[in-house]
Amino acid sequence: MRLLPRSAFGQTVFLLGFVLLVNQVVSYYSVALYVIKPSYQQINNLLAKQIKVLFIADDRDFIISADLSKKYLEATDINILNERQAIENGLNDAEYYQHFSSQMSEQLGGPAEVRISQGDMFYVWIRPPQAPHIWVKVPLDGFQKKDLSPLLIYLIAIGVLSVAGGWLFARHLNRPMQSLKLAAEQVGKGEFPPEIKAQGSEEVVAVTQAFNHMSSGIQQLEKDRSFLMAGVSHDLRTPLTRIRLATEMMSQTEQFLREGIIKDIEDMNAIIDQFMEYIRHHKMEELEFYQINCLISDVCEAEEVNRPRSFELELDDSLPAITIRPVAIKRAISNLVENALRYSSDEIVVSSYLEEDKQHISFEVSDKGPGIPEQDMKRLFEPFTQGDSARGVEGSGLGLAIIKKIIDMHNGNIVLINRKEGGLTAKVTLPVNIK
């Protein structure tokens, strides 16, 4: 079980909170030891002196008279009560305090008992050793119930304000890091956010400036790559077109050679198209509220017209429409169907359904081909990577890389699953609300 938070923000708040907690504990014990304890000792000494006044005559058979009790009460507000009177005035509701009793015993020179009752006012009950048959009830005017809480309120207020201040400080310190995190995720998806404002500590400012420099460099590199590929594509297509025209003019006796050249030209054009497709910025397409089943049906109907192959559609009609880039997603579906057609000869099954969490929809394209070794599953999504000889044919190896790029752009996920009955299933999962 991990007790420490993982995020820098959480760790900073935890550290500040821990330090403040230690500070509060030390402060509490310091105040209790050097302020409260001496105050209570002084109060106990004063009470002991009050009790000693009663026995100044050193009368061993001390008997309280009603007249003495009345005069003493009028002069000092201190009650002198026998056992019965003490019980009638709330002695049984008073709580015994061992620490005060020990101190009072030392002051009075014998075993004394101290109790404290709490109500609208605090009262100290003392059984002196000189007269164990009486109780002295002393009011503490300066210790009303409401006056015992300032220390606790002070400590709680300081603790809350300190933690709140630490939280605000940590939030201010980590806010630039959060912006960097979000920007880095965007760059990882091929997006280039505006330059991040450099703020915070010197280290964070330096990291932010380095990130902005890196982001602008990657953006420029991406532009240069796109420009280069566009130029290469244009320069290659021109001679390929001339070769195609020249091939068409070849004699019938060279039919076999002409067909081979034409096929090679078509393959080269297809490879160039895939290169351009991979570097294309699909983010330029606007998001639309679209029904995924419509795209699947359009792709399958078009393939049925072009090829003598059958499709089995298992589409969930209750699927909600989601925000997607329709052209990009349709291209991903088309590539998946194309792969299934290329690597199998039987019926293709395409299905769609809503996930159990109701927050994602999925669609699957399944074939009955030879499948793919498990160790090659993740590797096939890398650019210029092809499968083994069982499913490998000539090509650029960009098909699945293009698909994954489109799905990642929609915050989705794609996995390849070997079917138990043979063949391969490509499963794509997309969130209902794409951010």
Q: pLDDT tens for residues 395-411? A: 556 678 888 888 888 88
Residues 262 and 298 grouped into a single domain:
no
Burial 385-418 (b: 16+ CB within 10 A, else e): ebbeeebeeeebbbbbbbbbbbbebbebebebbe
209 domain-assigned: no
Domain of 259, CATH number, reads 1.10.287.130
290 domain-assigned: yes
Question: CA nearest 86: which of 119, 26, 126, 33?
Answer: 126
Residues 406 and 301 grouped into a single domain:
yes
Q: For residue 253, give the DSSP letter.
A: G
Residues 327 and 274 grouped into a single domain:
no
Of the candidates 131, 152, 173, which is a domain's last residue?
152
Residues 124 and 236 grouped into a single domain:
no
From first to last of its 435 residues, the chain has per-residue pLDDT tens of 456 666 666 667 677 777 777 777 777 777 777 766 777 777 778 788 877 777 765 555 556 666 666 776 777 778 888 888 888 888 888 888 888 888 888 888 889 898 888 777 788 888 888 888 888 888 876 555 444 456 667 667 777 777 777 777 777 777 777 788 888 877 776 677 788 888 776 777 788 888 888 888 877 777 776 666 667 676 777 787 778 777 877 777 777 777 788 877 777 777 777 666 666 655 566 788 889 999 999 988 888 877 778 888 999 988 889 988 888 898 889 889 988 888 887 889 999 999 988 889 999 999 888 888 888 777 787 766 655 443 444 455 667 888 888 888 888 999 999 988 888 999 999 998 755
The whole-number pLDDT of residue 1 equals: 46
Q: Measure the CA–CA gap between 98 and 104, rounded to whole angstroms.
A: 10
Sign of the C-alpha dihedral computed for residues 208, 213, 219 and 222 taken in this order: negative
Report the first-to-last Cα separation within the chain, whole angstroms: 32
pLDDT tens digits, 361-390: 999 999 888 888 888 777 787 766 655 443
Vertex 281 angle, CA 276 and 284, to 5°: 135
386 domain-assigned: yes
Residues 275 and 306 grouped into a single domain:
no
Predicted TM-score (pTM) above 0.85: no
197 domain-assigned: no
Residues 144 and 94 grouped into a single domain:
yes
Domain assignment of residue 422, given as a range = 284-431
Residues 423 and 296 grouped into a single domain:
yes
Of the candidates 248, 279, 310, which is a domain's last residue?
279
Residue with tokens 């003490």: 86
Residues 339 and 255 grouped into a single domain:
no
Of the candidates 152, 169, 193, which is a domain's last residue?
152
Residues 291 and 421 grouped into a single domain:
yes
Q: What's the chain's Rg over C-alpha atoms?
A: 44
* Structural domain total, the chain: 3
Q: In what order do the strands lie in the sheet with 122-127?
A: 79-82, 134-140, 122-127, 113-118, 95-96
193 domain-assigned: no
Q: For residue 380, give the DSSP letter.
A: G
The answer to whether the beta carbons of residues 187 and 193 sit under 8 Å apart is yes
Residues 24 and 92 grouped into a single domain:
yes
Question: CA nearest 134: which of 66, 70, 80?
Answer: 80
170 domain-assigned: no
Residues 242 and 330 grouped into a single domain:
no
The DSSP-derived string for 43-92 is: HHHHHHHHHHHHTTT--TT----HHHHHHHHHHHS-EEEEHHHHHHTTGG
* Secondary structure element (H or E) that encloses residue 324, with its range: strand 322-324
Residues 59 and 142 grouped into a single domain:
yes
Domain of 374, CATH number, reads 3.30.565.10
